[in-house]
Amino acid sequence: VIYLNKLPEDVYRLLVDGSTSYLPFRDASFGTCSYHLTLLDCLHAVSKALQYGFLDFNRFDVDEYEHYERAENGDFNWIIPGKFLAFSGPHPKSKIERGYPLHAPEAYFSYFRKHNITTIIRLNKKMYDAKRFTDAGFEHHDLFFIDGTPPTDAIVKKFLNICENAEGGIAVHCKAGLGRTGTLIACYIMKHYRMTAAETIAWLRICRPGSVIGPQQHFLEEKQAGLWAEGDVFHSKLKAQQNGNSKVAVTRILSGVDDISINDNLNKLGRKTDMKLYDDDDESSCVTQGDKLRALKSKRQARSAATGPLMLEENKVHTRSSSQSFRLTLQSSVQSNKAPKSSSFSNGPGITKRSTRSSAGNCSLKSQCLNSRLARSLGNLHALNSDQDSTLNEAKTGIKPLSNSTYQLNNINVANSNGNFTPQRMATDS
């Protein structure tokens, strides 16, 4: 799909030829699975990402992706480069809680400024004072809804309006930065790029494994037609304004237009019709789904670093977390998911090999090179004591940007959303 420009259906047909079949994969929630995604959905997602410029594999940096995906380095991923960054919710001070490193808002300032992020959207309860972002020059918005649930139409509408008028990139977070965060970003993608719900969920999980949880999946399926219709109206009016050579910012004109509303099937989804916009009693000190997801992510990262590769035994199914990055090469011998990347793509003419994974003998050299390029700017909080209050001062130094980064986040409003995005990170989800 990426290098040979094959259609997803053609690729999938080759893969399932004969008796070969592939299991679907599910969300990262802890309940009964009621929604499956398939390998074909993922192939369609990659194809659409190429079509809309979300993905330029020749510029994808696997080391950068894996660095910032880790909890101690920020736990964030770009979904649409230059437009949407999804991240785990900041905390009043940097510390380790339930084994998961938490970061103060100040820890993100330098990276956000370097990459032209101008707007922060919080979807969970108030864990930090929003003034810490606004005083630093960022816009900050609160759109609270309960962990693991779909948003109301009012929240979706306000989210889309904020994003369509943002001057720069948008950083969205809930508690873990997966369920609520992924669901609202998905609404924007479906509206403005006409991707199906399945394609959108697949792309979100490719970029940030574990995104979109439980009933949120069915919510996106139900909203697909309405969001597509809204997008058609939006872009037709946008085109008319551009043809009229209007000097007024088109996105701000259209932000007040509400020709089509999304049907809010509250009863079908089993949600409360009078949900409060904000309730500090929700997600209190009890362990929430967001806590479980963050603990799960922290655990699998620790396993990857400390206990070596995951092995697959012959004729046995190895159960993996749906939020875990998945790399599996079908070969006669079992390979680790941290093994050197196959050079199969490099055999073709004109193809640049993007991964520079080192062999065991070169690990030390690679580590030195990587550390010089990707500073552990948020600090490896695993090395700190949980009661060390001075970590807040360390976090305030901000995130050291990539010294040789070629990425610049553009001011991507819908008015120039045809635009040539260059992705910063991608992973695969099992």
Q: Of 174, 187, 207, 363, which is the active-site residue?
A: 174
Q: Which domain holds residue 153?
A: 27-242
Could you tell me if residue 148 is inside a domain? Answer: yes
Pairing of strands 76-80, 84-87: antiparallel
286 annotated active-site: no
Could you tell me if residue 258 is inside a domain? Answer: no
Question: By mean pLDDT, which of 81-95, 206-220, 274-288, 411-425 is the weakest?
Answer: 411-425
For the cut 50, the answer to whether the pLDDT of residue 329 exceeds it is no
CA angle 356, 86, 119 (to 5 degrees): 120
349 vs 213: which has the higher pLDDT: 213
For the cut 80, the answer to whether the pLDDT of residue 196 exceeds it is yes
pLDDT digits (tens, 9 = 90+) for 272-312: 433 333 344 444 456 666 666 666 666 666 545 443 433 33
CA 182 – CA 86 distance, rounded (Å):
8
Tokens of 31: 């309940």
Could you tell me if residue 33 is inside a domain? Answer: yes
For the cut 90, the answer to whether the pLDDT of residue 335 exceeds it is no
Could you tell me if residue 116 is inside a domain? Answer: yes
Tokens of 141: 């918005």
Confidence at residue 320, expressed as pLDDT on a 0 to 100 scale = 36
CA 77 – CA 68 distance, rounded (Å):
7
CA 50 – CA 56 distance, rounded (Å):
7
Residue 412: pLDDT band with limits 50, 70, 90: very low
Of residues 1, 39, 34, the one with CA closest to residue 21: 39
Question: By mean pLDDT, which of 208-212, 246-250, 393-397 is the weakest?
Answer: 393-397
CA 175 – CA 127 distance, rounded (Å):
9
Confidence at residue 316, expressed as pLDDT on a 0 to 100 scale = 40
The number of folded domains in the chain is: 1
Confidence at residue 244, expressed as pLDDT on a 0 to 100 scale = 76
CATH number at residue 58: 3.90.190.10
Could you tell me if residue 419 is inside a domain? Answer: no
For the cut 90, the answer to whether the pLDDT of residue 156 exceeds it is yes
Contact 378, 74 (CB under 8 A): yes
Tokens of 169: 């990139």
Total residues found in the chain within this entry: 430
What pTM was estimated for this model as a whole?
A: 0.66
CA 381 – CA 253 distance, rounded (Å):
45
Of residues 299, 315, 328, the one with CA closest to residue 429: 328
Confidence at residue 30, expressed as pLDDT on a 0 to 100 scale = 80
Query: Tokens 């237009």 map to which residue?
Result: 257
